[in-house]
Amino acid sequence: MNHDLHDRIKRLKERLSPCDICPRECGADRLGGETGQCGAGKEVAISGYGPHFGEERPLVGRGGSGTIFFAFCSLRCVFCQNYTTSRGRDAFEISTSQLADVMLRLQDRGCININLVSPTHYTPQILEALYEARSLGLNLPLVYNCSGYEKLDILAELDGVVDIYMPDIKYADAEIARGYSGVEDYPEVARAALQEMHRQVGDLQLNENGEAVCGLLIRHLVMPGGLAGTAELMEFIAREISPTSWINVMDQYRPTYLAHRYPEIARTITRREFEEALHATRQASEGFHLL
């Protein structure tokens, strides 16, 4: 696997200039010093790392999820709750060797996985760090915690490397996606990405301690006024992904970052809106595992 991983790293690094790592395909010469539309350049930038006990229960266990927060993002969500990270306001650069050391530190602290948050635009560097960390004893499951806005050929390079995929599925409607995240192709791209992720890893699997070891865990954020299209998305998951999918339907929407500029989303969701989203999820499939 190490030789194969080396080949994947080489192929992916070549795609940093011109960059086509994410579906935006902005063409930035990242190896030559340019930054992409996402904000990322040649070096990895993170905003922090550590054991995280606020993730979904199967990812936390006793030791916490070994979370690494990568700076910048390929989306432009106007309601981003982590905008200081996604816009790089608290970013600091590290080398791939330092990233490998971070992974090993998290393992030494008793974390049960390595949780890569918003990793897409650093995929080549992450695999390079993983190659080094594995040679030094890293043996934890790898969690790819992403927005769902992923290219199929890049995901193909992660086949057999990522153990747990944890994507968002944000919107059912292209115009809604364009208005709030700046990418109108989000629905079609994310649906295809989830299908590929499930093809690679299947439904979420737990060990005897109730800890996730492999599989797909889907997140969906309920938005005010039903703007995310929850019912349509859940029907898609039941029909095209798996009727026994593991899903976290989240009620944590807050009007942060630039959301105050959009009156229709400048509020929290109501209890009724969340209950309707849960009902639509259960209606799509009684076999869903809800977290």
Those residues with Cβ within 8 angstroms of residue 276's Cβ, 6 or more apart along the chain or in another chain: 226, 230
C-alpha pair distances (Å), 73 with each of 99, 116, 139, 224: 18, 13, 27, 23
C-alpha pair distances (Å), 194 with each of 46, 155, 184, 277, 283: 25, 10, 17, 20, 20
Q: What's the pLDDT score for residue 106? A: 98
Q: What's the pLDDT score for residue 201? A: 98
- Is-contact 263 180, C-beta < 8 A? no
Q: How far apart are CA 14 and CA 8, in angstroms?
A: 10
pLDDT digits (tens, 9 = 90+) for 17-57: 999 999 999 999 999 999 999 999 999 999 999 999 999 99
pLDDT band at 3 (very low <50, low <70, confident <90, very high): low
Q: How far apart are CA 132 and CA 100, in angstroms?
A: 6
pLDDT digits (tens, 9 = 90+) for 194-209: 999 999 999 999 999 9
CB atoms within 10 A of CB 33: 10
Q: What's the pLDDT score for residue 238? A: 98
Q: Which amino acid is at 198?
A: H
**Looking at residues 180-205, what average pLDDT do you find?**
98
pLDDT digits (tens, 9 = 90+) for 85-137: 999 999 999 999 999 999 999 999 999 999 999 999 999 999 999 999 999 99
- Is-contact 66 140, C-beta < 8 A? yes
Q: How far apart are CA 167 and CA 154, in angstroms?
A: 15
pLDDT digits (tens, 9 = 90+) for 259-287: 999 999 999 999 999 999 999 999 999 99
pLDDT band at 186 (very low <50, low <70, confident <90, very high): very high
Residue 1 confidence (pLDDT) above 80 = no
Task: Give the domains, in start order, of the chain with CATH numbers.
Answer: 43-290 (3.20.20.70)
Residue 2 confidence (pLDDT) above 90 = no
Which residue, among 79, 62, 140, has the nearest Cα to 107 in the 3D structure? 140
- Six-digit token pair at 44? 């990895």
Q: What's the pLDDT score for residue 266? A: 98
Which residue, among 191, 171, 186, 188, has the nearest Cα to 265 in the 3D structure? 171
pLDDT band at 254 (very low <50, low <70, confident <90, very high): very high
> Which residues is 164 bridged to in the sheet?
143, 215
C-alpha pair distances (Å), 161 with each of 4, 165, 175, 201, 258: 10, 11, 34, 10, 36
pLDDT band at 223 (very low <50, low <70, confident <90, very high): very high
